[in-house]
Amino acid sequence: MQEIAAHVFIETAYPGVTLAALNTPHGLILVDAPLRGEDTRSWRAMLLNMGGGVERLLVNLDAHFDRTLGARAMDCTVVAHEKVSQIFRNRPVTFKTQGTETGAEWELYSNLGSIRWAPPEITFTDEMVIHWGGSPIRLESRPGVSHGALWVHLPEQKIVFVGDAVMPNQPPYLASADVPVWIEALRLLLSEPFQNYTLVSGRGGLVTHAQARDQLAYLERVRVRIDGLVEAGGKAEDTEALIAPLLQGFEPLPEHRPMYEQRLRWGLRQYFLRRNFPESIEIEE
């Protein structure tokens, strides 16, 4: 566990997403959850040693399986954007490991078993401010990455948890993305108000503003290529030809390359369908 500011901790050792714990006088505010049961038990044991108040609140940065599969095992109140709650209403009550191939990290583990979802109990639309003693903690809607994506903003400490808005060293998840809105969110992140901020990615921990600029440039490439395909009257299967060029520049471990290729295969296809048929195609996640 790494302390990046007074009472602000992150953990990057578990597969899936970056975890965080904000230790306030009232209790712990947690950001996301481990996806494997053994990691959840280990994470909860570490949190017991942090002291502070007795309350626990878990913030999900979006509805992605990697960060929500372990939410129920954290056994605390869950907070998320209202659209995350809508997504959960469309999911089966119980999750069972199946042959889904979206290129997500949870798909690398076949022993997750049957898991009951933990829909958010507290939701908001635009912004929510948590006052648990000490500095205010702001939850801000940033929907470009996916429906219901949010940032956790600590204005006094100048820290912002941006979830999957910046994903260093791996291709992003595009299946539920609104790429133009995502680009605008990154432009905000790179603007003057955030210049002296510490940025925390939902996958990979601390990131730099240079990495945020790289993410912006990558998304511009995605937008240009998909828009060009739509304007040329292309088909969803034509997105297959975009995988290789959009994977260039990454140097994944050999065991991760098939996952990244599948992530782009699935994501580009879904994004193309939404871009080409915005009224007739509705894709949940």
Q: If you average pLDDT over residues 68-86, what whole number do you get?
A: 93
The answer to whether residues 282 and 233 touch, using CB atoms and an 8 Å cutoff, is: no
Helices vs. strands in the chain: H and E counts, helices first:
7, 15
The pLDDT of residue 109 is 79
Q: Contact, 166 vs 186, CB < 8 A?
A: yes
**CA 234-237-238 angle, 5° bins:** 45
> What is the structure's pLDDT at 171?
94
Evaluate if residue 285 carries a pLDDT over 70: no
At 43, which helix (H) or strand (E)? helix 37-48
CA triple 164-59-111, angle to 5 deg: 75
pLDDT at residue 199 above 90?
Answer: yes
Q: Taking the alpha carbons of 149, 154, 155, 159 in that order, is the dihedral positive or negative?
A: negative
DSSP readout, 119-158? --SEEESSEEEE-SSSS-EEEEE-TTSSTT-EEEEETTTT
CATH code, domain with 172: 3.60.15.10
Nearest to 57 by CA among 67, 71, 42: 71
Domain membership flag for residue 68: yes
Whether residue 4 contacts residue 32, with contact meaning beta carbons closer than 8 Å, is answered with no
Amino acid at 251: E
* Residue 31 within a domain: yes
The answer to whether residue 283 sits within a structural domain is no
* 8 A C-beta contact, residue 200 and residue 18: yes
Domain count, the chain: 1
Give the model confidence (pLDDT) of 118-168 as tens digits: 889 999 999 999 998 878 999 999 999 998 999 999 999 999 999 999 999
Q: Name the average pLDDT for the chain.
A: 90
Q: Is 147 among the domain residues? A: yes
pLDDT of residue 279 exceeding 60, the answer is no
pLDDT tens-digit profile of 210-261? Answer: 999 999 999 999 999 999 999 999 999 999 999 999 998 888 788 888 999 9
| Per-residue pLDDT band at 90 (split at 50, 70, 90) | confident
Q: Report if residue 41 sits inside a domain.
A: yes
Residue 282 domain-assigned (yes or no): no
Identify the domain containing residue 82 by its residue range: 2-276
CA atoms within 13 A on the CB side of 92: 7
In a domain, 284, yes or no: no
> Which is it for strands 77-81 and 94-96: parallel, antiparallel or unpaired?
unpaired
Q: Is residue 281 part of a domain?
A: no
